[in-house]
Structure 1
Amino acid sequence: MGLGKVVILCTMAALVAGQEKSARSAMTTALLRDLRNANDIYVRPGADIGGPTVWVNMHLFGLEKLKERTNVLQAGMSVDLRWNDPRLSWSPEEFGNLTTIFFPIKDMWIPDITIWQSADPLTPFFSKEQDICQIFSTGDVVWAPKARMTVYSNMTVGANGEVHHRARAYLGSWMLGVPQIDIHPSSPTIGSTMLQWSPLTGINTSVERVIQVFNEIPGISGYPLLEVTIEAIERGNETTGELIQ
């Protein structure tokens, strides 16, 4: 094959690849437009029949106590949230066989999950840094923001001088109760594979679904919450400070 034919074939291949990329970009743009039009950020998914089920999975990447309040633990973590929103589903064959897309969370409904009884109630639980979620053609949504949990701990000193911390917090929607929303843990423990250079050593964690009932609130039969427990031991006399995300 001569050099001229090689150049022509390469040029044609580049043109075809460019056209396919352009067509896929156009399909993505069209899909984003359709999803925005179909979605209402102020209406929860399945509101006519109750509400969504949100699955929560947590991974610790930092754990320490505050210098100014030794009975307060601060945990930095990644939180994987998963739920289904039927309004965000589509037929892949209508959009160039796209089965997943990234979508800005400002344009969609997200669960108002926070830490109940936080030791720092004015600080948001979720970071604003992770402003993109992933949506699948089935309507399944995955959002994985970073978060900071600041909670009170019960401190005890062992016979060998080790300081043991046990903190408990409740994670859930601040406004929505049963049956408006349901929340379940994806795992009975918090992942700790990323917790390597923390001033505190995590020794035990647990995550359990509970229902909190307030009899004085009419129309709400209870709030589904995740009871989160973290146990940790201080490493010697190392200086600890505030965890920075």
Structure 2
Amino acid sequence: MSQPRWAVVVPVKQLAAAKSRLRGALPGVPHEELALALAADTLRAVLACPAVAEALVVTDDPRVAAAARAAGARVLPDEPRAGLNAAFRHGAAGAAAGWVAGITGDVPALRPAELAGALLAAQNGHPAARRFLPDAPGGGTVLLTAPPGVPLDPRFGVGSAVAHAASGALPLDGDWPSLRRDVDTAADLAAAARLGLGPRTAALVASAHPARAAG
């Protein structure tokens, strides 16, 4: 069965304000470089996924916008201080008609095949329903999908898995560890590294810990 081609929305904050709990996680690495690497590796995997027709990056950071365009994504302006859910809604509204997914921009170990598997499960399991994938700890959300004609209706934030379920979205069940491993803390980054980081984040980790990388 052929899979529909998806539009995937990836919101990214201003780098100076992004991923505040990761600040200082990599000694000697500027925080903005790490935040940009997380987003760039996420986007790289999204664009490499065979199910994805287009990626829409919602941001008002010029460095993120430039990197996204260079990678082949479409960039939509983010309204300052509007928040993450507004960015997801804005991106979904700008997508072509069809299947739409929203993914957080902090899954640097993401494997394109795992994303494809989750999108296929969303298509085939309950094709008329919004679906969501909890993060590795279970309380947050890394992926939200909507079929054609159904609003994405994002509820990202603290306790978003419960919020998405309460809104009528159905959980996705599958073994997709690289997709579920978002990165908010230094411990999360270490867990993502064990799965295998994308090239940009991996290079920063290696630069901060050269002895570990050599070993």
State TM-score, norm by structure 1: 0.25
The structure whose residues are more often helix, as a share, is 2
The structure with the larger Rg is: 1
State TM-score, norm by structure 2: 0.28
